[in-house]
């Protein structure tokens, strides 16, 4: 597909719903008692993987086009699916559902697409198996298909997390809600806290103190009405586009601002981007963000900010190509085990467009500013790489041709339409 090239972006957009919260709203709705309604559910492929999986687990879920209604069956009310669960491209779905299915009176098998089937699962299987679950990978590997044996008992653990991962933490939390006694998780670095917040929202109890989290099981949850805020990880593409595409000004409405997710706002500020946050809605943890074309300076991004912007690093790397000086991104080795190796994919694809970017063991070194040019690139099947490359194409009037552009539907199906709308200066 030929990407949209050099053009200022002007206007207002409503970014799509948060992917992490959309997944969790189906999961919590399913394992609670009573009805859950979900407004502004993300209609992306990954979240449909979660929705379909819970339908196959016997949970009544309806969709009137506006609101998704989940009739909770309780965590003990799930039923055995008639076949293995296909979780598509979604790491969040496969990892979190393991915690829910770790104690069921039936066995299940989980698998996904060619990308998901290569992503590491020991990080979740090891702690769950310590809790007396019985999870195994394909032919003694840690890769899907994952087999979960029938199990009638989970025991609590104290777990020092070896990786900073909200997916691992969340899987353990879902298991802890079903275990007899207190589970303690000590995080390596704080990661997104949507699971903790939703345990409370659905009537459960959880203690959080810095990196330490305590949950006592078993607990029974109650269905809720959920309104999903916009996803800052999707907004990130337009936050960066607004800052780097000449003569741009974009107003982003309903952007989620949970502090465990706002690392990109800190980076934009450090790089001196012209960003204004207004209309803060405390209850919904969302705000309006206005961004204008800016004179940017380089920065260093490392340490505990990394989990707060992990999915934004490809687009932050593009931002750095337009900043004066050398930007160094470190401690981001988790990028190697996403949909693609995002360190290599970002470096190689941006190099093809003329960027000065070097991959390292745990990050990237980017020298700027550089003039990007046209070329043939590929999303490599990774939605975030695909969206980053489209924003890069806006910096050149030469042709940028991208293979595998369909990948964006995983988290942002209307992405190219929103780019087009902003190039026409239309509001949404």
Ligand X SMILES: C=C(OP(=O)(O)O)C(=O)O
Ligand Y SMILES: O=C(O)C1=C[C@@H](OP(=O)(O)O)[C@@H](O)[C@H](O)C1
Q: Which residues sit in the known binding site for phosphoenolpyruvate? A: 19, 91, 119, 167, 342, 384
40 near ligand X (CB under 6 A): no
Which residue among 90, 234, 294, 346 contacts ligand X (CB under 6 A)?
A: 90
Q: Binds 90, which of ligand Y, ligand X, none (CB < 5 to 8 A, cut-off by type)?
A: ligand X
Least spacing, CB of residue 25 vs ligand X, in Å? 15
Place of tokens 């780097």: 244
**Length in residues, the chain:** 428
Of residues 308-367, those binding ligand X (CB under 6 A):
311, 338-339
Residues in contact with ligand X, shown as a per-residue x/- string from 174 to 213 under the rule CB under 6 A: ----------------------------------------
167 contacts ligand Y (rule: CB under 6 A): yes
Asked whether the beta carbons of 317 and 358 are under 8 A apart, the reply is no
Q: Which is nearer to ligand Y, 161 or 400 (CB)?
A: 161
> Pick the catalytic residue: 231, 311, 382, 418?
311
Give counts: helices (H), strands (E), the chain: 12, 22
For tokens 């509001």, the residue is 427
Per CB under 6 A, does 380 bind ligand X?
Answer: no
CB 259 within 8 A of CB 36: no
Q: Residue 72 or residue 263: which is nearer to ligand X going by CB?
A: 263
Short-list 20, 5, 2, 3, CA closest to 397: 5
Helix (H, G, I), strand (E, B) or coil at 188: coil
Minimum CB distance to ligand Y, residue 44 (Å) = 12
From 70, 384, 395, 402, residue interacting with ligand X (rule: CB under 6 A): 384
199 with 206: CB under 8 angstroms?
Answer: yes
Using DSSP, state whether 391 is helix, strand or coil: helix
**Contact letters for ligand Y, residues 184-223 (x by CB under 6 A):** --------x-------------------------------
- Residue spans of alpha helices (H) in 102-225: 122-130, 166-176, 194-201
Find the binding residues for ligand Y in span 299-318 (CB under 6 A).
310-311
Residues 6 or more apart whose Cβ sits within 8 Å of residue 145? 84, 109, 110, 111, 117, 137, 138
- The verdict on 411 binding ligand X (CB under 6 A) reads yes
Residues sharing a CB contact under 8 Å with residue 332, sequence separation 6 or more, in sequence order: 301, 302, 306, 310, 313, 343, 362, 363, 364
Q: Which of 86, 334, 401, 403 binds ligand Y (CB under 6 A)?
A: 334
Q: Is the peptide bond before 265 cis (omega within 30 degrees of 0)?
A: no
Residue 41 · residue 68 · CB < 8 Å: yes
Cβ distance to ligand X smaller for residue 211 or 336: 336
Cis preceding linkage at 369, omega within 30: yes
Known binding-site residues equal: 19-20, 24, 91, 119, 165, 167, 311, 338, 342, 384
Q: Does 97 bind ligand Y (CB under 6 A)?
A: no
Torsion of CA 250, 255, 258, 260, to 10 degrees: -50
Tell me which of 50, 89, 170, 396 binds ligand Y, using CB under 6 A: 170
The reply to whether 152 belongs to the active site is no
Choose the binding region for ligand X from 87-95, 123-131, 274-282, 363-371 (rule: CB under 6 A): 87-95
List residues forming the annotated binding site for 3-phosphoshikimate: 19-20, 24, 165, 167, 311, 338
Site size for ligand Y, by CB under 6 A?
A: 10
Residue 214's beta-bridge partner residues?
184, 207
* Near ligand Y in 6-45, by CB under 6 A: 20
Least CB distance from residue 89 to ligand X, whole Å? 6
Q: Which stretch binds ligand X (CB under 6 A): 85-93, 176-184, 185-193, 324-332?
A: 85-93
CA atoms of 271 and 387, how far apart (whole Å): 21
Choose which of 165, 234, 321, 379 interacts with ligand Y (CB under 6 A).
165
Q: Name the residue among 419, 373, 382 with its Cα closest to residue 404.
A: 382
How many chain residues are in contact with ligand X, going by CB under 6 A? Answer: 10
| C-alpha torsion angle, residues 371, 373, 376, 378 (rounded to 10) | 30
Cα 55 from Cα 71, distance rounded (Å)? 10
Of the pair 349, 382, the CB lying nearest ligand Y is at 382
- CA 317 to the chain's CA centroid: 18
Annotated catalytic residues are 311
The residue ranges that bind ligand Y (CB under 6 A) are: 20, 92, 165-167, 170, 192, 310-311, 334
The residue ranges that bind ligand X (CB under 6 A) are: 46, 89-92, 311, 338-339, 384, 411
């Amino acid at each position: 597909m030929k990407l949209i090239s050099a053009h200022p972006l002007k206007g207002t957009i409503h970014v799509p719903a948060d992917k992490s919260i959309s997944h969790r709203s189906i999961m919590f709705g399913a394992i609670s008692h009573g009805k859950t309604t979900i407004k502004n559910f993300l209609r992306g492929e990954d979240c449909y993987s979660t929705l379909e999986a819970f339908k196959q687990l016997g949970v009544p879920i309806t969709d009137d086009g506006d609101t998704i209604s989940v009739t909770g069956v309780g965590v003990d009310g799930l039923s055995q699916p008639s076949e293995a669960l296909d979780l598509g491209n979604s790491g969040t779905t496969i990892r979190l559902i393991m915690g829910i299915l770790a104690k069921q009176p039936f066995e299940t098998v989980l698998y996904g697409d060619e990308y998901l089937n290569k992503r590491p699962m020991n990080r979740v299987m090891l702690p769950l198996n310590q809790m007396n679950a019985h999870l195994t990978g394909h032919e003694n590997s840690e890769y899907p298909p994952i087999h979960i044996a029938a199990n009638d008992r989970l025991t609590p653990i104290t777990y020092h997390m070896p990786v900073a991962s909200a997916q691992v933490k969340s899987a353990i939390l879902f298991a802890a809600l079903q275990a007899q006694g207190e589970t303690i998780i000590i995080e390596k670095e704080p990661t997104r806290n949507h699971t903790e917040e939703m345990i409370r929202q659905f009537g459960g109890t959880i203690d959080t103190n810095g990196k330490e989290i305590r949950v006592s099981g078993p607990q029974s949850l109650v269905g809720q009405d959920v309104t999903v805020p916009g996803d800052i990880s999707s907004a990130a593409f337009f936050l960066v586009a607004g800052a780097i595409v000449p003569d741009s000004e974009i107003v982003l409405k309903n952007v989620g601002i949970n502090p465990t997710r706002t690392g990109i706002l800190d980076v934009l500020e450090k790089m001196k981007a012209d960003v204004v946050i207004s209309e803060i809605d405390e209850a919904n943890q969302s705000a309006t963000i206005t961004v204008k074309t800016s004179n940017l300076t380089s920065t260093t991004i490392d340490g505990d900010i990394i989990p707060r912007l992990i999915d934004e690093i490809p687009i932050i790397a593009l931002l750095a190509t337009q900043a004066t000086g050398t930007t160094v991104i470190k401690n981001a080795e988790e990028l190697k085990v996403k949909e693609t190796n995002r360190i290599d994919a970002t470096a190689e694809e941006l190099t093809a467009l003329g960027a000065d970017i070097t991959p390292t063991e745990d990050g990237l070194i980017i020298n700027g500013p550089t003039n990007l040019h046209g070329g043939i690139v590929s999303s490599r099947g990774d939605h975030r790489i695909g969206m980053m490359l489209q924003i890069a194409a806006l910096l050149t009037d030469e042709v940028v041709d991208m293979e595998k552009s369909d990948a964006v539907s995983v988290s942002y199906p209307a992405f190219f339409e929103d780019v087009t709308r902003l190039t026409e200066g239309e509001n949404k």
